[in-house]
Amino acid sequence: MVVDVVEIAGEDHGSVVPAAIGRGVRFVLAGPATVPSVPSARDYMAMTPEARYQLRLDVRALPDPHRIPWLNGLKKTLHGGLSKAELELLHTERNAMDARHGTRPHLINAD
């Protein structure tokens, strides 16, 4: 089950109902987010830097309830399957791609 908790500022006990219904309908009509599968460490390393960047952008667009578990899964997979040098290479690559494209990760990424 996917839920989204939002405080609706400026509403009281009675006026929050219409605002909540409108948001609830939009939430349901949007449907579930499509979450990519977490690649193995070797599959991730076999991707081109551009493909890894696009995957990161796709994951960054996910809502937190999907994005954070996905990132935790990738982190576990990479740390279990790559050397320290490979991990540092990926970190440097991510920073360089973000700088080149003017993007940056969320403040909260993984546990």
Closest CA to 3 of 27, 19, 20: 27
pLDDT for 100 equals 95
The reported pLDDT for the residue numbered 101 is 95
What domain range includes position 72? 41-101
Kindly write down the DSSP assignment for every residue of 41-105, as one continuous string.
Answer: HHHHHHS-HHHHHHHHHHHHTS-HHHHHHHHHHHHHHHHHHS-HHHHHHHHHHHHHHHHHHT---
Residues 47 and 97 occupy one common structural domain: yes
Is 27 in the same domain as 45? Answer: no
Classify residue 106: in a domain, yes or no: no
pLDDT digits (tens, 9 = 90+) for 52-70: 999 999 999 888 888 999 9
Within a domain: 90: yes
Q: What is the per-residue pLDDT for 85? A: 97
Instruction: Look at 28 and 103; give whichever has higher pLDDT.
Output: 103
Q: Does residue 111 lie within any of the structural domains?
A: no
Kindly state whether residue 4 falls inside one of the protein's structural domains.
yes
pLDDT in the model for residue 24: 84
Does residue 14 lie within any of the structural domains?
yes
Residues 45 and 97 in one domain: yes
Question: pTM for this one?
Answer: 0.70
| pLDDT number for residue 39 | 97
Residues 51 and 13 grouped into a single domain: no
For the chain, how many structural domains are there in total? 2
Q: Are residues 48 and 97 in the same domain?
A: yes
Q: What are 32-41's pLDDT values in tens digits?
A: 678 999 999 9
